[in-house]
Amino acid sequence: MATAAVLENQIRTIDPDEERAFMDAIDRWLEREVIPVIQHHDHNDLWPEKLVEQMAEMGLFGATIGQEYGGLGLPATTYAKIVMRISSYWMAITGIFNSHLIMAAAVERFGTPEQKMKWLPKFATGEIRGGLALTEPNAGTDLQAIRTVAKRDGDDYVLNGTKTWISNALNGQCFAMLAKTDPGADPRYKGMSLFIADKRDGLTTGKKFEKLGYKAIDSAELVMEDYRIPADQLIGGIEGQGFFQATGGLELGRINVAARGVGLAEGSLRLATEYAQQRETMGKPIAQHQAIQLKLGEMATRARAARLLTLDASEAYDSGERCDMEAGMAKYFASEAAVENSQEAMRVFGGYSYSKEYDIERFYRDSMLMCIGEGTNEMQRMIIAKQHLKANPV
């Protein structure tokens, strides 16, 4: 049963010393390698090749992949803390391994034993990196409206269609690709299947999108024209499971976006707190004006609440409980906290917030994406409300 597969996460517990050592390594990497190059890569929208190599060396491309496949098999709680920490300096680079890990999770949870043995070790080392290819020009929220079709032809499938907004499209080599194997199915989700789509003839990448934020990581179209892949790249080997497989990973996906939101909210707070104690008006640091204190008080509370909600959802996930509502609440709250804290920090910085010399403008540009990805916050609230009403019938 697919539901059982979701709950069978091969998550290990982690010793607190081991977690601390890992977090220390992340801190050293941020300080020595990442922080000095953020502005250069963000302002010029440059792929951070050297950092990607270092991420692979640290095992980040296998962070949540089971140890039996060469991954670190980290619990969601540790993984969330890593994402929070990195995102409190530069959210965009977490997308390079996050989207990849969601692809890997689809194979690990729903793939055949042969698929796991073939693909997961290469995903874990970062030898093959990639992402998740669901969205199409006409279908984002309404995933069941996708038009990509996969037709069985002997021992192969032949895919035709266009995916858009795909993270890691240019620099990745492989994608979890959602397509319709039965376009006439009713209900529509029963005709959907998920494939391991590696780059080969018939799969081309469009131009890199120019974006407001989330720079350095590439987002682009993937175009399939008579793109032929072996039938054994259908995840799980059975048609019609794709919608569940693609959305079944959303708990971890939402925890991941929530963790990015926490990082952005905390980073914005950190920058505003430092600046408010250095900038003086009317003969004293602006941190001593009540108007600024109100902002800092609200920002600190929001960041902490977002962190606690995210850790609560991660702990539920690690214990094997169903946690889609907790993960949805964390994603919704933390992403809104990221937007609000970055906006408030902009006000604390006054005119300097508008200068590219300061980091806060990046937090402002990057934060809005958290409200859109992994299910928009409009949908998130509707899903939370439905579950809430179901649990509280009159």
Ligand X SMILES: Cc1cc2nc3c(=O)[nH]c(=O)nc-3n(C[C@H](O)[C@H](O)[C@H](O)COP(=O)(O)OP(=O)(O)OC[C@H]3O[C@@H](n4cnc5c(N)ncnc54)[C@H](O)[C@@H]3O)c2cc1C
Q: How far apart are CA 165 and CA 97, in angstroms?
A: 16
Does 49 qualify as catalytic in the annotation?
Answer: no
141 vs 301 by CB, closer to ligand X: 141
Residues numbered 97-116 forming contacts with ligand X, rule: CB under 6 A:
99
Amino acid at 317: Y
Q: How far is the CB of 371 from ligand X (least distance, A)?
A: 9
Q: Which is nearer to ligand X, 178 or 346 (CB)?
A: 178
Distance, CA of 290 to CA of 267 (rounded, Å): 22
Give me the residues paired with residue 229 across strands: 157
Q: Which is nearer to ligand X, 149 or 231 (CB)?
A: 149
Q: How far is the CB of 147 from ligand X (least distance, A)?
A: 13
Separation of alpha carbons 99 and 92, rounded Å: 11
| Contact residue for ligand X among 98, 115, 135, 335 (CB under 6 A) | 135
Name the residue type at position 365. R
Positions in 173-232 near ligand X (CB under 6 A): 211, 214, 219
Q: Which of 34, 58, 91, 134 binds ligand X (CB under 6 A)?
A: 134
Considering only 30, 185, 372, 383, the residue that binds ligand X (CB under 6 A) is 372
367 touches ligand X by CB under 6 A: no
Interface residue with ligand X, options 62, 71, 253, 373 (CB under 6 A): 373
Q: Which CB atom, from 318 or from 374, has the smaller least distance to ligand X?
A: 374
Nearer to ligand X among residue 10 and residue 376 (C-beta):
376
Written as one letter, the residue type at 43 is H
* Nearest alpha carbon to residue 310 among 123, 117, 84: 84
**Residues contacting 172, CB < 8 A, separation 6+:** 99, 100, 129, 130, 131
On whether the CB atoms of residues 296 and 326 are closer than 8 A, the answer is no
Site string for ligand X, 137-176 (x = CB under 6 A): ---xx-----------------------xxx---------
Name the strand (E) or helix (H) holding 175: strand 174-180
Q: How far is CA 314 from each of CA 65, 251, 324, rounded to the nearest angstrom?
A: 16, 9, 11
**Shortest Cβ 311–ligand X spacing (Å):** 25
Q: What CA–CA distance (Å, rounded) separates 245 from 190?
A: 12
Query: Sign of the C-alpha dihedral, residues 235, 238, 243, 248?
Result: negative
Question: Which residues would be at the binding site for ligand X (CB under 6 A)?
Answer: 99, 131-135, 140-141, 165-167, 211, 214, 219, 369, 372-373, 376, 378-379
Which of the residues are catalytic? 374
